[in-house]
Amino acid sequence: MIKRDGALPSLWQQTVNPLEVNNAAPTHLYDVIIVGAGITGISLAHRLQNTGLQCLVLEAHNCCFGTTGGTTAHLNTLLDTPYTTIIKNFGEEHAKLVAQSVKEAIHNIERNIEQYQIDCGFEKTPAYLFAQNDDQQKELQDIVEACEKVSVPVHYTNTIPVNIPFTKAIEIPSQAKFSPVKYVYELAKAFINAGGRIIEQTAVTNHTQRTDEVTNEAIIEVQTATNLTYIAKALVYATHIPPGVNVLHLRCAPYRSYAMAVKLAQDNYLAELCYDMYDPYHYYRTQVIDGEPYFIAGGEDHKTGHESNTEACFNQLQAHIRKYFNVESITHKWSSQYYEPADGLPYIGSLPGAGDNIFVATGYGGNGMVYSQVATILLAELIITGASAYKELFDPNRVKPIAGFANFIKENADVVKNLVSGLISREQLESLSELAHGEGKVVVYDKHKIALYKDQEGKLYVLNPTCTHLKCSVSWNAAELSWDCPCHGARYSIDGEVLNGPANMDLKRIDLQEE
Ligand SMILES: Cc1cc2nc3c(=O)[nH]c(=O)nc-3n(C[C@H](O)[C@H](O)[C@H](O)COP(=O)(O)OP(=O)(O)OC[C@H]3O[C@@H](n4cnc5c(N)ncnc54)[C@H](O)[C@@H]3O)c2cc1C
């Protein structure tokens, strides 16, 4: 089983064996270095390598460690940001371009699957969106009108594939689903076979730019946590959110979403994709893996670090599933992270504040399976030719002030004082905190905050809760056993190791004085 950025195993993690990568890549000049081996990084690396460019992928953990390992992998042209909103914010012509880009995205995945004969359960299928009250019905009507304007085919229907009461529903043909990690691993193998390199367990910590003295070309030096430096002509942060401090952290809000895979008592697994219209909404589908069908449902989203009882989110999701489906057993439950963009569209293109030839793809919301492919098409064009029909639309440097978003993203920074290690004895701390086995919390000791977790065997993990990104105080996520930052979504393991950017330094460990 491969690893993921949470303690709970997703349905997909067991579907592949670890990649066979040669971690000793040469440090010569690459055409492109891609940071991050999720669906974005691997798809882009594969495409560029096949155009003849020499590519290196640097991954902090393992391929699909990030949200690609925790997704639910619906492939949609009907997006989470309704076309009504996209038309309002970007105009009808640009909204048409968005619709065209995501259609092309699904086609891109389908083409790779055909070319490499990837056995990842890919199926084209209709999707259904259903309203359950008057407000939702009105919203649905607006969505239908907007879809007509941007040429996304939809039509009203009297039936939906789930047994949930509804007032109005639409069918969206030609959507798709697949097993994401299987797909990405096979594509990664095709990339390696084409001469590409992937180095796992290698976090990128920084990059610098210089001009080559001989060729006069701009060169990017990429520093890693393993103290090796790699050089390239272009650099792409396919890290879901760029590391370090960037204006994009003010334009993307981190969210957690919850998913469960279950076996149903009767063999009435839906073949299609389905969605209700609550905010947050529930999503439903089936995936057959090794001949076994799994019903997958998700929802209960909230801003990262803003829910004190993350286990309760699973309880609510489970109650919802049991209300409408005849559940025999729950085989998997997991949560994962996505980034909601300020104006409804992702940021794909030049990294703001960085020089030429440094790129980023972020702010996908809940549509990263398709937007990762848009990023692949767009960034490959930018790197190879400098131009793309999608360049302006998804430009990360666009300024689109959206009313309310500044407040939406603003957090109380709650900057915490640094605790000098070793001042507090283990005995004193244990008596102060009274933690149950398996419990984590932030406690205050002598005006200093301390993050404590006691594992099931009684071992105490003691950390400084100051997020190393911008010094907010982290919160305990009991479901995934992680420390999550409510400001920009950085996450850390019980040891303080970075699980999710934008932080690129671990939480400080506190050594206790032994008696
Ligand atoms: C529960 C859930 C369900 C979802 N369902 C859907 C869906 O049905 N359809 C859909 O379209 N989208 C869905 N999404 C969104 C989609 O899954 C994501 O947008 C997508 O997986 C992001 O892929 P990525 O490759 O950009 O990022 P990731 O998969 O997160 O990969 C980024 C990689 O970068 C690595 N990395 C980070 N920092 C560094 C560094 N400094 N150095 C080296 N490596 C680094 C990470 O370890 C990670 O492996 C869902 C999201 C969630 C949370």
Q: How confident is the model at residue 14 (pLDDT cuts 50, 70, 90)?
A: confident
Q: Report the atom number in ligand 1 closest to the C-alpha of 335.
A: 1
Centroid of ligand 1 to alpha carbon of 199 (angstroms): 18
pLDDT category at 393 given cuts 50, 70, 90 is very high
**In degrees to the nearest 10, what's the CA dihedral of 498, 244, 252, 349?**
-120
The atom of ligand 1 lying closest to the CA of 362 is 26
Ligand 1 proximity of 242 Cβ (cutoff 6 Å): no
482 touches 503 (CB < 8 A): no
CB 343 within 8 A of CB 363: no
Q: Is the pLDDT of residue 22 over 80?
A: no
What is the best residue among 44, 46, 64, 68 to mutate for testing ligand 1's pocket, by most ligand atoms within 8 Å of CB? 68
> What mean pLDDT is predicted for residues 4-15?
95
Residue 14 vs residue 274, higher pLDDT = 274
Is the Cβ–Cβ distance between 202 and 224 less than 8 Å?
A: yes
Check if 74 has its Cβ closer than 6 Å to any atom of ligand 1.
yes
- Ligand 1 centre distance from Cα of residue 141 (Å): 32
The answer on pLDDT for 487 being more than 50 is yes
Helix (H, G, I), strand (E, B) or coil at 256: strand
Give the mutation target among 240, 252, 493 for probing the ligand 1 site: most ligand atoms within 8 A of CB: 240
pLDDT tens, position by position, 200-235: 999 999 999 999 888 888 999 999 999 999 999 999
Ligand 1 centroid, distance to 66 Cα (angstroms): 5
Q: Is the CB of 66 under 6 A from ligand 1?
A: yes
In which residue are the tokens 């699973």 written? 314
415 confidence band (pLDDT: 50, 70, 90): very low
pLDDT in tens, 119-177: 999 999 999 999 999 999 999 999 999 999 999 999 999 999 999 999 999 999 999 99
**Nearest to 14, CA basis, from 4, 25, 24, 28:** 4
243 lines ligand 1 (CB under 6 A): yes
Distance 215 CA to ligand 1 centre (A): 37
297-317 pLDDT, tens digit per residue, is 999 999 999 999 999 999 999
Tell whether ligand 1 has an atom less than 6 A from the beta carbon of residue 274.
Answer: no
3-state SS of 57-92? EECCCCCCCCHHHCCCCEECCCCCCCHHHHHHHHCH
- Token pair, residue 230, equals 């790699």
Predicted pLDDT at 433: 67
- Locate the ligand 1 atom nearest the alpha carbon of residue 368 and give its number: 19
What is the atom index within ligand 1 of the atom nearest the CA of 225?
42
Return the structure tokens found at 22.
């040669």
* Structure confidence at residue 434 (pLDDT): 78
- Cα(17) to ligand 1 centroid in Å equals 19
Q: Note if the pTM is more than 0.85.
A: yes
User: Would you state the pLDDT for residue 514?
Assistant: 65
Q: Whose CA is nearest to atom 21 of ligand 1?
A: 68
User: In 3D, which of 403, 280, 250 has the Cα closest to residue 341?
Assistant: 250
Please give the number of the atom of ligand 1 that sits closest to the Cα of 364: 19
Mean pLDDT (whole number) for 344-372: 96
CB 507 within 8 A of CB 468: yes
Q: What is the pLDDT of residue 215?
A: 87
Pocket residue to mutate for ligand 1, from 239, 333, 337, 376, most atoms within 8 A of Cβ: 239
The yes-or-no verdict on residue 409 having pLDDT over 60 is no
Around Cβ 358, how many Cβ atoms within 10 Å? 20
Give mean pLDDT, residues 175-201: 97
The pLDDT assigned to 412 comes to: 40
Ligand 1 binding pocket includes 8 (Cβ within 6 Å): no
Instruction: Check residue 25 and give its pLDDT.
Output: 74
Distance CA 330, CA 297 (A): 11
DSSP 311-338: HHHHHHHHHHHHHHS-EEEEEEEEEEEE
% the chain with pLDDT above 90: 85
DSSP symbol at 431: H
Q: Decide: 165 and 130 in contact? Cβ < 8 Å.
A: no
How much is the CA Rg of the chain, to the nearest whole Å?
Answer: 23
β-strands 358-362, 229-237: how paired?
Answer: parallel
Flag whether pLDDT at 104 surpasses 70.
yes
Q: Strand pairing partners for 454?
A: 460
Residues of the chain with pLDDT > 70, as a percent, come to 93
Summary mean pLDDT of the chain:
93
Name 330's bridge partners.
262
**Residue 404, phi-psi category: left (phi > 0), alpha (psi -120 to 50), beta (remainder):** left
Q: Which of 327-336, 352-361, 393-402, 429-438 has the highest mean pLDDT?
A: 327-336
Residue owning the nearest CA to atom 10 of ligand 1: 367
Strands ordered across the beta sheet of 482-484: 475-477, 482-484, 491-492, 498-500
Comparing 273 with 515, which gets the higher pLDDT? 273
Is it the case that residue 403 has pLDDT exceeding 60?
no
Q: 195 burial class (0-12, 13-18, 19+ CB within 10 angstroms)?
A: exposed
| Nearest CA, atom 50, ligand 1 | 71
Mutate to test the pocket of ligand 1, among 3, 16, 46, 71 (most ligand atoms within 8 A of CB): 71
Separation of CA 393 and ligand 1 centre (Å): 22
- Spacing, Cα 430 to ligand 1 middle (Å): 37
**Closest among 26, 114, 98, 78 to 377, alpha carbons compared:** 98
CA distance 157 to 164: 14
